[in-house]
Amino acid sequence: MLAYIIRRLINAVITLLVVTLVTFGIFFGVPKITGSDPALLYIGKTADAASIEGIRTKMGLADPILVQYGKFLKGLVVGRDYSSGPDVIHCPAPCLGYSFKTDRLVTPTLLADIPVTLSLAIGAAILWLIIGISAGVISALRRGTLIDRAVMTGALAGVSLPIYFTGLLASAIFIYWLEWLPQGQYVPFTENPGEWFVQMLLPWITLAFLFAATYARLTRANMLETLGEDYIRTARAKGLRERTVIGKHGLRSGLTPIVTVFGLDLGALLGGAVLTESVFNLRGLGYQALDAIRANDLPVILGVTLIAAFFIVFANLLVDLVYGVIDPRVRLS
């Protein structure tokens, strides 16, 4: 088991390295080949040659691409110094460089965005797990009935309607028509938990609807498969109550594949739920990413990409480890 964990960890680190290499290559290497200049993006096209040169030196953009990558990696791990003539600015690890647009360090900017994204992802995840799994289980147990068909129709709507549609529709209904929820802005949890909850409710519901739909379908399919297994028949033949058969023997294996999907979904969302955040004007990582793309703010885009990649790789690692715990066939082989 220990060897398994170590092997997974090494794999995760290698994957992250490759991700940095590829993203760095795309953002800083490719422009060099195609002739567009990151320094121009930073300072603006109207700048004179001297200031562009100054930026190049300061940012290290004049170095060969591999040297730049090396410095970037070093920045990530131990931090780096930027010097423009006399003054030296230290960028502490993990250093993602400076925003071209705001001239501020990227890392703290992004770190400030994380709570918003985290609020959105975790809250929605709790909602969709509860709704999706229970709908899926009920659907599987009542296969072919009206309830099953209703759930599956709802689920089909959930997976096929885009967020910007359901989000706007939900806002229109709950805020402007029924007036159940107030208009407003994101409020940090630490400031006012009640207001935070009220403001997050609609984004949670909207995002959870999409995922709950997928999870209901997945759960239904897994449960139906599990309920057809021989060991379920054995559990019944032992005289176990139907709720033990379903609740213990059925759910235990029916929900195992959900763990995989959930880990990956949550990992991906933590890197920013671009559509939901922009529909509800939540200044999280996804919103930041969208802003940065509009402004050609390469270091920020790179930073968001790396954070997203980190979360996905981390989630993958976690899923593998959890699997080792819940499935004795993985653990003991």
Partner 1 sequence: MSVNSATDRPFLEVKDLTVRFETDDGIVQAVSGSNFSLRAGQTLGIVGESGSGKSVTSLALLGLHRTRSNAKVSGEIWLDEKELVTATDEEVRKLRGGKMAMIFQDPLSAMHPYFTVGSQIVEAYRVHHPSANKKVARERAIDMLARVGIPQPERRFHDYAHQFSGGMRQRAMIAMALVNDPKLLIADEPTTALDVTVQAQILDLIRDLQEEFGSAVIMITHDLGVVAELADEVLVMYGGKVIERGPTIDLFQRPQHPYTWGLLGSMPRLDREVRDRLNPVKGSPPSLINLPDGCAFHPRCPYAGRNGDRSFKEVPVLIGGAHSVACHLPPDLRNKIFQEEVAPNL
Partner 2 sequence: MSENLLEATGVQKHFPITKGLFRRQVGSVRAVDGIDLDVRSGETLGLVGESGCGKSTLGRLFTRILEPTAGKIVFEGQDITHKSVTQMRPLRRDVQMIFQDPYSSLNPRHTVGSIIAAPLQIQNIPTPQGLKKAVQELLELVGLNPEHYNRYPHEFSGGQRQRIGIARALALRPKLIIADEPVSALDVSIQAQVVNLLEDLQNEFDLTYVFIAHDLSVVRHISDRVAVMYLGKVVEIADRDDLYKNPRHPYTVALMSAVPVPDPVRRDRAQRERVLLTGDVPSPINPPSGCRFRTRCWKAQDICATEEPPLVTRLEDPQSHLTACHFPVVSDEVVAGRRPQPASA
Q: Which of 249, 278, 279, 282 binds partner 1 (CB under 8 A)?
A: 249
Instruction: Choose one: 1-9, 103-111, 122-130, 172-180; the region binding partner 2 (CB under 8 A).
Output: 1-9
Binding pattern to partner 1, positions 141-180, x when CB under 8 A? Answer: ---x------------------------------------
| Residue 238 Cβ vs partner 1, minimum distance, rounded to whole Å | 4
Nearest Cα residue to 215 out of 154, 130, 132 = 132
Q: Which is nearer to partner 1, 104 or 331 (CB)?
A: 331
Q: Which is nearer to partner 2, 7 or 248 (CB)?
A: 7
Q: How far is CA 265 from CA 18, 25, 260, 272, 311, in A?
A: 21, 26, 9, 11, 10
Crossing angle, helix 193-227 and helix 163-171, to 10 degrees?
130
DSSP string, 69-93: HHHHHHHHHH-EEEEETTEEEEE-S
Question: How many other C-beta atoms lie within 10 A of the C-beta of residue 77?
Answer: 11
- Pull the structure tokens for residue 185: 């802005």
Crossing angle, helix 106-141 and helix 193-227, to 10 degrees?
40
Question: How many other C-beta atoms lie within 10 A of the C-beta of residue 56?
Answer: 18
Size of the site for partner 2 (CB under 8 A): 3
Q: Which of partner 1, partner 2, none has residue 3 at its interface (CB below 5 to 8 Å by kind)?
A: partner 2
Residues 6+ positions from 76 with CB-CB distance below 8 Å = 20, 93, 94, 95, 96
Binding pattern to partner 1, positions 216-245, x when CB under 8 A? Answer: -------------xxx-xxxxxxxxxx-x-
Q: Which of partner 1, partner 2, none has residue 65 at its interface (CB below 5 to 8 Å by kind)?
A: none
Q: Which of 6, 18, 169, 172 binds partner 2 (CB under 8 A)?
A: 6
Q: Which of partner 2, partner 1, none has residue 230 at its interface (CB below 5 to 8 Å by kind)?
A: partner 1
Residues between 291 and 330 that touch partner 1 (CB under 8 A): 326-329
Q: Which of partner 1, partner 2, none has residue 238 at its interface (CB below 5 to 8 Å by kind)?
A: partner 1
Q: Which of 7, 74, 90, 241 binds partner 2 (CB under 8 A)?
A: 7
User: What three-state secondary structure class fits 80?
Assistant: strand
Nearest Cα residue to 163 out of 126, 213, 114, 117 = 213
**Interface positions with partner 2 (CB under 8 A):** 3, 6-7
